[in-house]
Amino acid sequence: MSLSLAPSRPVLADRVLPKSLATDAALVVGGAALTALLAQVEIPLWPVPITGQTLAVLLVGASLGAARGAIAMVLYALVGALGAPVFSDWSGGAGVLLGATGGYIVGFVLAAAFTGWLAQRRWERGLLRGLLAFVAGSGVVFLVGLPWLKIALGLTWAQTLQGGLYPFVVGGVVKAVVAALVLRTAWAFVDRADAAKGR
């Protein structure tokens, strides 16, 4: 028996890779790296830019499961807080994590865990349920990010929603659709491959 953080109900990563701590570590690092990469896909806005980070969070959580997805986001946040330029616009440092956008980054941990938990219950395998899971996962990011933004900048709730939520609604739905399509397509390939092998 090998040690692993793999969930009892297999997610996508568990169907295509061997289960071991080394695999888990590689997946966690890969999830953090994907988030850092998509953070650089950015539309600059104030006080919060639109980035590809949330798409990465959804994909990482759904493909790795709750524990590994959350750990990947913790690693991402810690590496960035230590100064690595992994946040949007190649920024890094504790100031970013403690600043106006820090709540969104903290929310990534909970969103990846939640999305992963839903994936362990097969939500991401169907298009409609996957879409609902990913919209809900995006919502978790805002549950943490919005109050943090309000406090960090001393905004009213109207200002907070204007700057920290409304500009992201359409993009959030698009990211949820993309994530649902990617995961559903990936599962279709895996199921087809398994059928061809006679599993």
**Digits of tens for pLDDT over the chain (199 positions)?**
456 676 667 899 999 999 999 999 999 999 999 999 999 998 887 778 889 999 999 999 999 999 999 999 999 999 999 999 999 999 999 999 999 999 999 999 999 999 999 999 999 998 899 999 999 999 999 999 999 999 999 999 999 999 999 999 999 999 999 999 999 999 999 989 877 776 5
Q: Is residue 7 situated within a structural domain?
A: no
Q: How many domains does the chain have?
A: 1
- The reported pLDDT for the residue numbered 1 is 43
The answer as to whether 23 is a domain residue is yes
| Domain assignment present for 2 | no
Please calculate the CA angle 165-118-174 and round it to the nearest 5 degrees. 40
pLDDT of residue 195: 78
Which domain covers residue 108, as residue numbers? 14-190
Domain-embedded: residue 8: no
Residue 53 in domain: yes
CATH assignment at residue 153: 1.10.1760.20
What are the residues facing 43 on neighbouring strands? 50
Separation of alpha carbons 101 and 108, rounded Å: 11
Task: Give CA–CA dist 49/52, Å, rounded.
Answer: 10
pLDDT value of position 2: 52
> Residue 172 falls within a domain, yes or no?
yes
Residue-level pLDDT at 48: 80
Single-letter amino acid, residue 32: A
26 within domain boundaries: yes
| 165 lies in some domain | yes
